[in-house]
Structure 1
């Protein structure tokens, strides 16, 4: 930046104008170089040459940004350092939970039914039986922390047979088969049975023929684990216990013609539950699946010269990072990470984000969100920020305090928020996190911008001039919110500092704004300690330091802000000797 501020070639203009001012009087009709000594001295004590004013120098001209530069101007001309980091796509998946039929223990039951024979009359008996089942599964996915409820698929049957001397056994309408209270069942495809909640009720009298089986179709559709007694359910991560009794109650009877003899009959009613696989399809649970989030490093490209010096220190008013999050899962994600700037391969700082020691408040990526925006910024004041969630990061400026070569996002931790959610097991839910760094070029008082450069290639104009003292004065009108000071050294054609010449810069350029421009006076003096020293001079190496006074802190650099140099006056003291030979 400072290169453009001061590359007005006023020193070169001084010497060239001095030379042109003299040689303009030479009559080209005579070749004086043959016999006449053309070494002349012009001027007495002082020779002042009025200079011209410069055109308006805007920041747009000063920055002269390449298209690929990470410093860009927005639609209003405000400059910001902008970079983007792209995250890889990952997924949240809690694997299926399937209880194989072979893992389900069942305990068939038998109950005795006594029927008294009375000629030409039916005989009745009460049924009060129960069968049981037991699940003890120790290889359930540990992604499930606790389990409240599950929709399940399971095709099962309750099978009834009888042993004894009778043509057939009849079970009356209203006969019930009751599954555990925590189960919801269905009984489709057979109108003789109706399921409601956890109970199957016979809608009509149903008979079992001798030597045959009555098979009642049962589909378990849901299990409410919260209704299970202690010691059942997900007793610990990976270990699932389900126990249940199935009471079978109602009335049975024999018709008169069902008796094979004219004697009382004792039958044995056999009850057995046959359960195929139970697959948990959708659960309400606390889950802790592995969530992999990675974000590619951000490379810093094509900065303006004034930001590249190793001595530059940036104190940005309110840099911002916008996280753009897609989380299709029903799991809210607690996100934390270390953002680390690297310069020349070395770590500069570590900015800790999220729920970690020395980090920020927790950063929660909500469930079921697409293009959710989280803004991380430096100030407490969030006015004007458009984001779904705003997090204050007081040390965020450390990312750019020394403009890095790259910014890496490392040590990312993404964990599911431990609260019950409803989740489809076995499904991949997409999760992706990208981010943009948007750091407006608005600075605080700790900013120190340093720029070193040189103006050279003057020697061909100066080798014929012998002056001991030269002075340039100018007036600078500034609307850029940076105060600037300059130091300089004379250099020879090889770039070496000429110790016989002292370059002194007096004054500086005060910071200004478009609404309150400042006017400053700057004087550059060249003093030669030896005759002929200026002949060896090829230019000056200069150093510009810019700072941010309190009154202009937080003002964004804008491409229309400008510097204008007026009243450029060149003074040569003690006369000028010009060798025209």
Structure 2
């Protein structure tokens, strides 16, 4: 008995000589496709985000006949149709485009006097902390441009670039939670830091104290190995920033405190009848700032009622009377006395003085290890003028 060619028809039924073999129905459960085990062996979706599979479908097994006489051959033709499927995850070389919004780091907890235009910070090791959670199963590198801003303007064209995309040390976020410390020395002792990155020019962001630091962040996956990503899931990278400024300064520090004592002429104008060539101005200063400050003679201006500098008045300050002692804890003020010596060939020079302007500058290397805060202050509590020979005038 000869058997004619049979085919698997609709319903997965195999028909031989119009006889139905019900046990021929097979159901295939596809749980995934593997196109290769190494990078480069995969398949790239087309512009419609689809993958077309063209290849052989192999069925292994045996066909057994019984109770049949004669000779011949048995041929089976197998047609497999796969309907459109939804992929839940993929494993491969995945380098997604990750978009990050431009953010700002605000510097709100610093004393107002640090924002003086002449102030220049030279901090030994400022630290910017990037806290970020990477939800992918692969490292994410971070390239960033940090720009110091005053109002809406960039300060002096300065910017600091970090990350391997700019030829700098890579900044890598491992899977999970990360605390990346960007610092001048590449070292810090802040608890919880998972990675230290050396950024030698980071002080450029704080040399002139900005209102805030603009951060243009570009996360990039550069990994060329295989990893698995879920499809249809919104991967996020929650992040935040902190600025830590340990109070240790280098030689280029220039912190400036400007103040003045004015309307002195109403107390001094009667002295035009007194012949004087010398006078001493005693300033009593309370300092709650954890920095030693200095008053140099060249940082004192003597002005008349019209705002003109009295250039004929010579100013000197003895070395041990130039310094304002620092507060050791940044809270309890320390009182200091500064003595400014005034001399002039104009015997009526005191009667012409209306305003004394002075500029105090921080002494490099005088840091106490206590951070600068906006609650710290400095105040001239009294100013007195004395004339050798016994004339004393209270200018408060």
TM over 0.5: yes
Aligned residue in 1 for 2:363: 547
**Structure 2 unmatched runs, 5+:** none
The aligned residue for residue 392 of structure 1 is 198
Q: Is the 8 A contact 2:280 2:387 kept in 1?
A: yes
Q: Is the 8 A contact 2:187 2:196 kept in 1?
A: no
Say yes or no: does 1:317 pair with 2:124: yes
Higher relative contact order (CA 8 A, sep 6+): 1
C-alpha contact (below 8 Å) 2:290/2:370 kept by paired residues: no
Match of 1:274 in 2: 81
Structure 1 residues 430 and 305: CA distance shift in structure 2, 3 A: closer
Instruction: Answer 1 or 2: which has greater strand percent.
Output: 1
Alignment-derived partner of residue 19 in structure 2: 168
Counterpart residue number, 2:294: 484
CA 1:494/1:268 → structure 2, altered by over 3 Å: closer, same or farther? Answer: same
TM-score (norm 2): 0.76
Cα offset, 1:524, TM superposition: 1.0
Q: Which residue number in structure 2 is paired with residue 509 of structure 1?
A: 323
Change in Cα spacing, 1:348 to 1:437, as seen in structure 2 (3 Å) is: farther
Structure 2: distance between partners of 1:557 and 1:543: 22
> What whole-Å deviation, never above 9, does each CA across 1:394-418 have from its counterpart, x for those lacking one?
2221210111233111263433533
Aligned match of 2:171: 363
For residue 208 of structure 2, what is the aligned residue in structure 1? Answer: 402
Tell me the SS of whatever aligns to 2:58.
Answer: strand
Moved more, 324-333 or 244-253: 244-253
Equivalent residue in structure 1 for 2:255, among 449, 453, 465: 449
How far 1:266 sits from its partner (Å)? Answer: 8.1
Q: 1:463/1:554 Cα in 2 relative to 1: closer, same or farther (>3 Å)?
A: closer
| Counterpart Cα distance in 2 of 1:293 and 1:328 | 15
Aligned residues: CA RMSD: 4.4
Question: What is the CA-CA distance between 1:437 and the residue it aligns to?
Answer: 1.5
TM-score calculated relative to the size of structure 1: 0.54
Q: 1:336 to 1:303 in 2, by over 3 A?
A: same
Q: Which of the numbers 389, 399, 417 marks the counterpart of 2:223?
A: 417
Compared CA separation, residues 394 and 402, structure 1 to 2 (3 A): same
Residues 123, 203 of structure 2: 8 Å contact kept? yes
User: What's the secondary structure of 2:36's corresponding residue?
Assistant: helix
1:314/1:158 CA distance change after superposition, 3 Å: farther
Query: 2: distance between equivalents of 1:511 and 1:445?
Result: 19
Q: Specify the alignment match of 1:41 in structure 2.
A: none
* Residue pair 1:305, 1:451 contacting (<8 A) in 2 also: no
| Mapping of residues 294-373 of structure 1, within 5 Å | 294-301=101-108, 303-343=110-150, 344-360=153-169, 362-367=170-175, 369-370=176-177, 372-373=178-179
Secondary structure at the counterpart of residue 253 of structure 2: coil
How far does residue 303 in structure 1 lie from its aligned partner after superposition? 4.9
Contact 2:142 2:217 in 1 (8 A): no
**Aligned-pair distance for 1:277?**
2.0
Q: Over alpha carbons, which structure has the higher Rg? A: 1
| 2:106 counterpart of 1:253 | no
Consecutive unaligned residues of structure 1, counting only runs of 5 or more, are: 1-112, 116-124, 132-156, 171-205, 208-213
Match of 1:289 in 2: 96
Separation of aligned partners in 1, 2:186 and 2:42:
47
Partner of 1:217: 27
Aligned to 1:75: none
Q: Does the Cα contact within 8 Å between 1:339 and 1:410 map onto a contact in 2?
A: yes
After superposition, the Cα gap between the structure-2 partners of 1:309 and 1:266, relative to the gap in structure 1 and judged at 3 Å, is closer
Q: Partners in 2 of 1:403 and 1:255 — Cα distance? A: 98
After TM superposition, the structure 1 = structure 2 runs for residues 423-438 of structure 1, keeping only pairs within 5 Å, are: 423-438=229-244
Q: How does 1:37-56 map to 2 (within 5 A)?
A: none
CA separation in 2, counterparts of 1:376 and 1:327? 18
Kindly tell me: are residues 245 and 392 of structure 1, through their superposed partners in 2, closer, same or farther at Cα, counting changes over 3 Å? same
1:538: which partner in 2?
354
How do 1:89-168 and structure 2 match up within 5 A? 114=2, 159-164=12-17, 168=19
